[in-house]
Chains A and B, each alone.
Chain A
Amino acid sequence: MNLAFLAVRNIKRSFSKYMMYFFTLSFSVFTVHSFLALVFNEQVMEKLTYSRRYQSMLVAFGVVIFVFVSFFLISSNVNFIKARKKEIAMYSLFGMTNAKIGRLLFTETLIIGTAALVAGICSGVFCSKLTAMILLNFTLAYFVGDIPFVVAPQAVWFTAVPFAFVFMLMGTAGRRVIAKFELVELFKGSKLPEANIRGSALHLIVSFALIGTGYYWAAIKEPAKLLLLAVPILLVVIAGTFLLFWGGLPQVFRWLRKNPHRYFSGENMIALSIFTHRIRSIGSVMAAIAVMSAVGVTAIATGYTLYGSMEVSTYDQLSYDLFFYGGRDVRDEVHDVFTKYGVGILGEYTVNRYQVKAVQIDPQQTVERVFRIYSESDYNRLIEVSRKIYQPIEVKPGQGLQAGRDIAAYAEIDEPYNDGRQSKLVLSDLELAVVTRADMANVHFGAYQMLVVSDEDFDHLVQTGTFASVDAFGEPLDEVTVIKYENPLRAHQLNSELNQILDARSSGYVMAYNYYVEAMEVFGLVCFIGSFMSVVFILMTASLLYFKQITAAEEERHLYQILRRIGLDPKAESRVIAKRLLPVFFAPLLVGIVHGIFAMKSADTMVFRHMLDVDNTFMVVMRFSAVMYSIYALVYSAFYLITKRQYTSTVR
């Protein structure tokens, strides 16, 4: 009887156990291959404008995913071997040396690994078109095209070779695991290997205190303080969660066991006592899942919320659909493009980019500054065309409304006009009292400081020829035109033609569309990778729990034998099994959700409150995370059912 024969026979005999193992391996292969297929897909890279940057980002994530997947695979493998302890002891008893058993395990892993590699890569290739389409739809503002089905040989190679290596590693790891088995211990058999953990009230109190502190900090309303506390929050919540699962939960169980009325329902008693016994080996995994799911879900919900509100944030950054510098000829060409595509212009204004040197006299200092200067009515006409809504302003003769990137900080929001700055501006023969305002539009158009004066003063300055006609670099100062038009973020052809013309003809221009497209690419990619990672994470953790429970089932089998002897009927038995397994899958999820709610609260304080134009931003974010957690719950439920079936068939 050679090893290959034995290996094949083993696989045939306990097919369902190997099925799950096979599924896990091939899913890992599938994941990594799908990712690499994206990285190596020519079409995808062509479509993403800044391909280099994105490619390296994707490769980095690919490596992260691969490391994560390998770690998970190796630990699944160890659990799988442990679940077969009895069988391995049998071989040992029949005189097989450890080296030979090791070779047997190696052969098995190789057979399953090869099959998984083929299955994973084939399904990966099969789905590669779909994943590429999803990615492009996520990241491109405008993508309705079709990408052809291609096989990227590099992706196949870069998947196959490292995985072959990892599988080899797993195959040899079996040897190390069995070397640790004691034959005697194996045949003592029906005793659970771990001692009962009793936990302590102190554990529970400290863990609650830690988590509570974290929550309290997370609910702080000032973004600046919250930012400082971000790392401490993470640390205390993580520490608290682990402590909760290590010592706190066992203590809760102990109290439950002391409360006879609830506990003594027999089934509760059995399930709780077995689960308590298990918590040492599975507590860390559960705590890690709770923490990581909260972090992951928060990050993804944040990404999606931002992604979904990209239009709002685009106009937060830029006020105009389009502005460009240039004279009448450029304007004419631009107008022609609008006519050509039949896109209506909703508002337009052209103004001279006048610049003036003035001496600013403060109580503390006297400096010479260069200002972009507008008349009151020019400024008010400019802001009419803006997508963002600004209040029109009024400037009296003898006043100068100063707005600069440094001035905004001084200005009081409650007090729109501030006359108390005791600052004067002297330009040619005019002396202006400086006033400031917080809510000024950003219409500096290239200058650092902006000045708005009354129409009379402005006319006077034009007549006296105070304005410079060239900028600091000697370039002639021309006019700037702002345009507001229909569907600015969707008119793709119009925008690309405008880009062409303005690139060639204008000395400077900004188009909201360009900003929007780039932001979509970055956020879309981040969201896509985030979702990808979280799907991987959900599936991997769920199947890790599965393998741990299958190992446990093997060790707990004798308990059910005893129970059946003292009269546990089959229906009660399946209820006991349900109660035994439910907390394994759903306790981490529950803790994760509670963590997530508070994490979301912080994200809301730090990010969304400023970026979103909705009343109750917290609810918006919560909706996104609710979807995420539903997916989590769904996958975990599926795995719970699979695990329950396998567990039941093992202990029967």
Chain B
Amino acid sequence: MELLQVRNISKVYRTSRSAAEFRALNNISFSVREGEFVGVMGASGSGKTTLLNIIGGIDKPTTGKCVIAGQDITVLDKSRLAQFRIKNIGFIFQDFNLLETMTLKENILLPLALNGYSAAEMERRLNQLSADLGIGRVLAKYPYEVSGGEQQRAAACRALITNPKIILADEPTGNLDSNSGKALLDLLSMINKKYSAAILMVTHDVFAASYCHRIMFIRDGEIYNELYAGESRKHFFDAIIDVVGVLGGEAYEPGFPGCAKH
């Protein structure tokens, strides 16, 4: 079943001074099935973040529809959208986006608290998730007291706590070293399987992309190419590198065993 349907979305930025307009997204259409792990790649400025923000309801498209779980989110007003977002969408950002005034536990529980869940229910969900994500020990600490990897896991935990149908991750490994990055990717895969949540992940990192079931490449606001993971992870990895090379994106960074250089 299709969870997310993006239909003919365009985004035009118009700076107030000059009449010149800029098309960040140009008539994009695609869909994501339940439980699918999709990567989005493309050169800098190709419109990846813009796309993710529109899907997440943070930004509005200029034209087009975006349907999540049967609901077109482009027609919702601000507060209904906020409600919808809290229930259905989990966000993970490159710079974690944890509130530094709160402990990790408070950060994680925040979406539930905003939705008026009971304290007992919150505790129940937190206990289960934090065990899965391995941050049970540091829950009482503040973000600046824990490592970047732990912060990102806490952010993932926050994204997951509402049992969202889809998780949007914008370069989640971008600020992590290779070990933490790999740990997070393993975690996302696990979440993807165990909670059957769809994941849409923007990344520049070929190694990170190789975790996905499918990769969409974006160029100049349009879908340029799509790749599906096959039997062999290595094969998939090589195929991604080929496309990235054509697109002129950044080189992969963490070394994949046996594939150090392009």
Binary interface encoding of chain A residues 558-571 relative to chain B, with 1 for a CB under 8 A from any of its CBs, else 0: 01001111111111
B115 within 8 A of partner (CB): yes
- Which residues of B, 60-89, contact A by the 8 Å Cβ criterion? 78-83, 85-86, 89
Complex CA gap A190/B97 in Å reads 10
Q: Which residues of B contact A261 (CB under 8 A)?
A: 119
Q: Are A269 and B102 in contact (CB under 8 A)?
A: yes
Task: Tell me how far the C-beta of B71 lies from the nearest C-beta in chain A, rounded to whole angstroms.
Answer: 14
- Which residues of B, 106-160, contact A by the 8 Å Cβ criterion? 106, 109-117, 119, 122-123, 142, 144, 158
A264 within 8 A of partner (CB): yes
Complex CA gap A567/B112 in Å reads 10
B217 within 8 A of partner (CB): no
Q: Which residues of B contact A273 (CB under 8 A)?
A: 99, 101-102, 106
Complex CA gap A156/B83 in Å reads 59
Complex CA gap A563/B109 in Å reads 12
Complex CA gap A192/B101 in Å reads 8
Q: Which residues of A contact B80 (CB under 8 A)?
A: 569
Q: Are B114 and A567 in contact (CB under 8 A)?
A: yes
Q: Which residues of B contact A99 (CB under 8 A)?
A: none
A483 within 8 A of partner (CB): no
Q: Are B97 and A264 in contact (CB under 8 A)?
A: no
Task: Tell me how far the C-beta of A40 lies from the nearest C-beta in chain B, rounded to whole angstroms.
Answer: 52
A103 within 8 A of partner (CB): no
Q: Are B114 and A572 in contact (CB under 8 A)?
A: yes
B93 within 8 A of partner (CB): yes
A579 within 8 A of partner (CB): no
B84, closest chain A residue (CB)? A567
B81, closest chain A residue (CB)? A569
Given contacts A196-B142, A264-B113, contact A566 B158 (CB under 8 A): yes
Complex CA gap A538/B123 in Å reads 46
B91 within 8 A of partner (CB): yes
Q: Are A277 and B83 in contact (CB under 8 A)?
A: no
Complex CA gap A266/B116 in Å reads 7
Q: Which residues of A contact B250 (CB under 8 A)?
A: none
Q: Which residues of A contact B172 (CB under 8 A)?
A: none
Q: Which residues of B contact A276 (CB under 8 A)?
A: 101
Q: Are B82 and A270 in contact (CB under 8 A)?
A: no
A265 within 8 A of partner (CB): yes
B82, closest chain A residue (CB)? A569
A274 within 8 A of partner (CB): yes
A557 within 8 A of partner (CB): no
Q: Which residues of B contact A570 (CB under 8 A)?
A: 78-79, 82
Q: Are B83 and A569 in contact (CB under 8 A)?
A: yes
Q: Are B100 and A572 in contact (CB under 8 A)?
A: no
Q: Which residues of B contact A269 (CB under 8 A)?
A: 102, 106, 109-110, 113
- Number of chain B interface residues as a range: 35 or more
A563, closest chain B residue (CB)? B99
Q: Are B113 and A265 in contact (CB under 8 A)?
A: yes
Q: Are A566 and B119 in contact (CB under 8 A)?
A: no
Q: Are A568 and B99 in contact (CB under 8 A)?
A: no
Task: Tell me how far the C-beta of B140 lies from the nearest C-beta in chain A, rounded to whole angstroms.
Answer: 11
Task: Tell me how far the C-beta of A363 lies from the nearest C-beta in chain B, rounded to whole angstroms.
Answer: 81
Q: Which residues of A contact B79 (CB under 8 A)?
A: 569-572
Q: Are B82 and A572 in contact (CB under 8 A)?
A: yes
Q: Which residues of B contact A265 (CB under 8 A)?
A: 113, 116
B221 within 8 A of partner (CB): no
Complex CA gap A292/B158 in Å reads 45
Tell me which of A270, A566, A569 has the highest count of chain B C-beta atoms within 10 A of its own C-beta.
A566
A260 within 8 A of partner (CB): yes
Complex CA gap A568/B81 in Å reads 10
Q: Are B116 and A565 in contact (CB under 8 A)?
A: no
Q: Which residues of B contact A277 (CB under 8 A)?
A: 100-101
Complex CA gap A571/B93 in Å reads 24
B56 within 8 A of partner (CB): yes
A267 within 8 A of partner (CB): yes
B58 within 8 A of partner (CB): yes
Q: Which residues of B contact A567 (CB under 8 A)?
A: 82-83, 85-86, 89, 111, 114
- Which residues of A, 424-467, contact B by the 8 Å Cβ criterion? none
Q: Which of B81, B100, B110, B144 contacts A566 (CB 8 A)?
A: B110
A257 within 8 A of partner (CB): yes
Complex CA gap A565/B91 in Å reads 7
- Which residues of A, 188-242, contact B by the 8 Å Cβ criterion? 190-192, 196
Task: Tell me how far the C-beta of B32 lies from the nearest C-beta in chain A, rounded to whole angstroms.
Answer: 20
Q: Which residues of A contact B81 (CB under 8 A)?
A: 569
Task: Tell me how far the C-beta of B174 lies from the nearest C-beta in chain A, rounded to whole angstroms.
Answer: 16
Q: Which residues of A contact B89 (CB under 8 A)?
A: 567
Complex CA gap A564/B83 in Å reads 11
Task: Tell me how far the C-beta of B131 lies from the nearest C-beta in chain A, rounded to whole angstroms.
Answer: 19
Complex CA gap A39/B116 in Å reads 61
Q: Which residues of B contact A572 (CB under 8 A)?
A: 79, 82, 114
A278, closest chain B residue (CB)? B101
Complex CA gap A644/B89 in Å reads 30
Given contacts A260-B122, A266-B113, contact A196 B101 (CB under 8 A): yes
Q: Are A274 and B101 in contact (CB under 8 A)?
A: yes
Task: Tell me how far the C-beta of B96 lies from the nearest C-beta in chain A, rounded to whole angstroms.
Answer: 9
Q: Are B100 and A191 in contact (CB under 8 A)?
A: yes
Task: Tell me how far the C-beta of B49 lies from the nearest C-beta in chain A, rounded to whole angstroms.
Answer: 12
Complex CA gap A592/B93 in Å reads 45
Q: Are B101 and A260 in contact (CB under 8 A)?
A: no
Q: Are B78 and A569 in contact (CB under 8 A)?
A: yes
Given contacts A265-B113, A267-B114, contact A564 B91 (CB under 8 A): no
Q: Which residues of A contact B98 (CB under 8 A)?
A: 562
Q: Are B93 and A565 in contact (CB under 8 A)?
A: yes
Tell me which of A261, A269, A571 has the highest count of chain B C-beta atoms within 10 A of its own C-beta.
A269
Q: Which residues of A contact B116 (CB under 8 A)?
A: 265-266
B111, closest chain A residue (CB)? A566
Task: Tell me how far the C-beta of B130 lies from the nearest C-beta in chain A, rounded to whole angstroms.
Answer: 16
Q: Which of B56, B114, B158 contacts A568 (CB 8 A)?
A: B114
Could you give 11 example pairs across A and B, Cβ below 8 Å? A192-B100, A265-B113, A274-B101, A562-B99, A563-B110, A564-B58, A565-B97, A566-B91, A567-B83, A569-B78, A572-B82
12 more CB-based (< 8 A) A-B contacts, given A267-B114, A564-B58: A191-B100, A264-B117, A265-B116, A269-B113, A277-B101, A559-B99, A562-B97, A563-B110, A567-B86, A567-B114, A570-B82, A572-B82
**Which residues of B come within 8 Å of A, CB atoms?**
56, 58, 78-83, 85-86, 89, 91, 93, 95, 97-102, 106, 109-117, 119, 122-123, 142, 144, 158
**Which residues of A come within 8 Å of B, CB atoms?**
190-192, 196, 257, 260-261, 264-267, 269-270, 273-274, 276-277, 559, 562-572
4 nearest A-B residue pairs (beta carbon): A569-B82, A567-B86, A266-B113, A266-B114
